[in-house]
Structure 1
Amino acid sequence: MSSDIVVVGSLNMDMVVTIDRRPERGETLLGDDFFMSPGGKGANQAYAAGRLGASVSMVGMLGDDLFADKLLDNLSGAGVTTEHIAKVEDMSSGIALITIDADGDNSIIVAPGANQQMTPERAQLMEEVISEAKLILVQLEIPLDSVHEVVEIAHKHGVPVLLDPAPAQSLPEGLLRMVDYIVPNESENSQLTGIQVKDEETAIEAGKKLLEMGVKTAVSKLGAQGVVITEASGSTFVPGYRVNAVDTTAAGDAFAGAFATALVAGKTLLEAAAFANAVGALTVTRHGAQVSMPDLKETELFVEGLSQDKVSK
């Protein structure tokens, strides 16, 4: 059975330590809490979309270790179809080592493990799954040539592509010309365009640069400030939500999954961005990656509550 959204990407087990501050070079610090949480940018985005009620399938690779079934079960519990996730013998699943400081900011080291086996050849085996989707969602925690293959297949079949260009790296214009939507944060935008993005004005400038590079629509994320949507017809600012952030680990993934969910549901770009802003804001108020992501009802109540606050004031 085909799904509206097909996410091709990484699956990791996150190992998280909370700390007061980040250690200096060569320094050992005692942390506070430790917990493990299913993660990986691809899996996070699939989970976010599933929690929000989207029809979504995940394509990716796992090892044959103790984390694999936990990662699969967590996705299945969110309504994500996992039949296109394969296990690789004698390899570990992807692992992310994460520290979160007192301000809720994170530092992440990823050991890709089996994610490296998400090869172009594996992508080719998924051509039918990709061709039947309404939207393909990809990131950069699998090999870049595999991302390129997925995007080429989607482009060949006229399936729109949403790219989350993270972790940040330079991308060939041949790839960007096949991307319908790109959702970079400030640092990723700066890496791609050479423009230091820090506010609405610089996000507009970077968005225009991305369009020159071939992308059809640029959605430049500015954290709590909001996003700037840049199309050929111009740029629009969509304000964000101010919340008490405790962990920003999966905010971008929550945004991408929510944005994809809204697009396939027929929402406009502005509606999709506003919805994704709300989902991202809720996500940063809790620790963990997938475990921190809200469902549709919770998101609607959050937005409704803020709207009522504005009316009462």
Structure 2
Amino acid sequence: MSSDIVVIGSLNMDMVVQVDRRPERGETLLGSHFFMSPGGKGANQAYAAGKLGASVALIGRVGDDMFADQLLANLQQAGVDTSLIGRVSDEATGVAFITVDKDGDNSIVVAPGANSRVTPDFIRQHEETISKAKMVMVQLEVPLESIMEAVTLADKHGVPVILDPAPAGPLPDELLAKVKYIVPNENEISQLTGTLVSDIRTAKTASVELLRKGVDTVFSKLGGQGVVVTNANRAFNIPGFQVKVVDTTAAGDAFAGALATALVGGKDLWAAAQFANAVGALAVTRSGAQSAMPDLAETEQFIKESTQE
């Protein structure tokens, strides 16, 4: 069975603790609340797309443990095809340790575990699935050489790629040249281009640098300032939705999953960005990663209510 969206990326169990502020070096803080939630950037984006009604499959790896069972079951509940997720018997499922402060901002430490075993050879085993997709989504929580392989295969078969360049770091021009859509936040686009991005003007400037490297369209995520969409023909800003921020952990993944869903569904760039902005805004009003993702009905209702105000 082929899926419209094929996500290649990580699966983690998130361990989240809420704190008044993030600790200083060498400091111990008492948190106010702890919970575990399915996460990992690949799984989050697949879950977001699945919950919005997209046809989506995830390629990744988990350990042979309790966390793996929970992560797979949660994805299946959102309609994600998990048949391409491999189990590794001698490695633990990935975990992420997350602190969330009173403003909803987070700090994350990831232990990749089985995610590090998503090798180029493992990706090549799924070339047929990639070739039949309408969109391939990748992030950077699995080895970079494997992401390069996935993007190369997608390019070979004429399948457009969305890259979420997180965690932030330098990327080869060879990779960027094969990416159709990129969805960096302020920090990520700053690192990729060397231009400090803090507002709409600087986001447009930095985006042009990514266009020069071969990217077709840049979606620069500016948090509450919205998103700046830039390609060779035009640049425009979609303002952010005003919401009460509880936890920003899922915002970027919600945006990416929603953007893929909208583009595959035939929406134009403006409508797709507006839709993804709304999904990202709803996600930050709740705690956790996948537990924060909205479905299609509540997203459409949120957009309707927001445009009426």
Structure 2, unpaired ranges of 5+: none
C-alpha distance in 2 between matches for 1:226 and 1:40: 24
Query: Which residue of 2 is the match for residue 227 of structure 1?
Result: 227
Which shows bigger deviation, 229-238 or 27-36? 229-238
Query: Which residue of 1 is the match for residue 279 of structure 2?
Result: 279
Query: Which residue of 1 is the match for residue 190 of structure 2?
Result: 190
Residue type of the alignment partner of 1:276: A
C-alpha distance in 1 between matches for 2:305 and 2:220: 26
Query: Which residue of 1 is the match for residue 155 of structure 2?
Result: 155
Query: Which residue of 2 is the match for residue 176 of structure 1?
Result: 176
C-alpha distance in 1 between matches for 2:192 and 2:2: 33
Aligned pairs for 1:104-115 within 5 A: 104-115=104-115
Tell me whether 1:24 sits opposite 2:27 in the alignment: no
C-alpha distance in 2 between matches for 1:17 and 1:147: 31
Residue type of the alignment partner of 1:109: V
Over 6 Å off, 4+ runs? none
C-alpha distance in 1 between matches for 2:129 and 2:268: 25
**What SS does the aligned partner of 1:136 have?**
strand
**What SS does the aligned partner of 1:82 have?**
coil
C-alpha distance in 2 between matches for 1:257 and 1:246: 20
Query: Which residue of 1 is the match for residue 10 of structure 2?
Result: 10
**What SS does the aligned partner of 2:82 have?**
strand
Query: Which residue of 1 is the match for residue 49 of structure 2?
Result: 49
Aligned pairs for 1:206-225 within 5 A: 206-225=206-225
Residue type of the alignment partner of 1:108: I
**Under a length normalisation based on structure 2, what TM-score does the superposition of the two structures give?**
0.99
**What SS does the aligned partner of 1:67 have?**
helix
Q: Does structure 2 conserve the Cα–Cα contact (< 8 Å) formed by 1:135 and 1:159?
A: yes
How many residues are aligned here?
A: 309
Aligned pairs for 1:82-161 within 5 A: 82-161=82-161
Q: 1:97-120 CA deviation, whole Å, 9 max, x = no partner?
A: 000000000000000000000000
Aligned pairs for 1:284-303 within 5 A: 284-303=284-303
Q: 1:35-68 CA deviation, whole Å, 9 max, x = no partner?
A: 0000000000000000000000000000011100
Residue type of the alignment partner of 1:202: T
C-alpha distance in 2 between matches for 1:224 and 1:44: 21
Q: Percent identity?
A: 65
| Post-superposition offset of 1:308 | 2.1
Query: Which residue of 2 is the match for residue 264 of structure 1?
Result: 264
Q: Does structure 2 conserve the Cα–Cα contact (< 8 Å) formed by 1:65 and 1:91?
A: no
| Post-superposition offset of 1:124 | 0.3
C-alpha distance in 2 between matches for 1:285 and 1:100: 13
Tell me whether 1:200 sits opposite 2:200 in the alignment: yes
Q: 1:248-277 CA deviation, whole Å, 9 max, x = no partner?
A: 001000000000000000000110000000
C-alpha distance in 2 between matches for 1:24 and 1:58: 37
C-alpha distance in 1 between matches for 2:189 and 2:307: 31
| Post-superposition offset of 1:234 | 2.4
Query: Which residue of 2 is the match for residue 308 of structure 1?
Result: 308
Q: 1:137-186 CA deviation, whole Å, 9 max, x = no partner?
A: 00000000000000000000000000000000100000000000000000
Query: Which residue of 1 is the match for residue 244 of structure 2?
Result: 244
Query: Which residue of 1 is the match for residue 68 of structure 2?
Result: 68
C-alpha distance in 2 between matches for 1:185 and 1:159: 24
C-alpha distance in 2 between matches for 1:222 and 1:308: 23
Which shows bigger deviation, 226-235 or 254-263? 226-235
C-alpha distance in 1 between matches for 2:162 and 2:34: 33
**What SS does the aligned partner of 1:6 have?**
strand
**What SS does the aligned partner of 1:31 have?**
coil
C-alpha distance in 1 between matches for 2:156 and 2:213: 20
Residue type of the alignment partner of 1:239: P
Residue type of the alignment partner of 1:88: V
Q: Does structure 2 conserve the Cα–Cα contact (< 8 Å) formed by 1:124 and 1:149?
A: yes
Structure 1, unpaired ranges of 5+: none
| Post-superposition offset of 1:2 | 0.3
**What SS does the aligned partner of 1:83 have?**
coil
C-alpha distance in 2 between matches for 1:42 and 1:224: 24
Residue type of the alignment partner of 1:293: M
**Under a length normalisation based on structure 1, what TM-score does the superposition of the two structures give?**
0.98
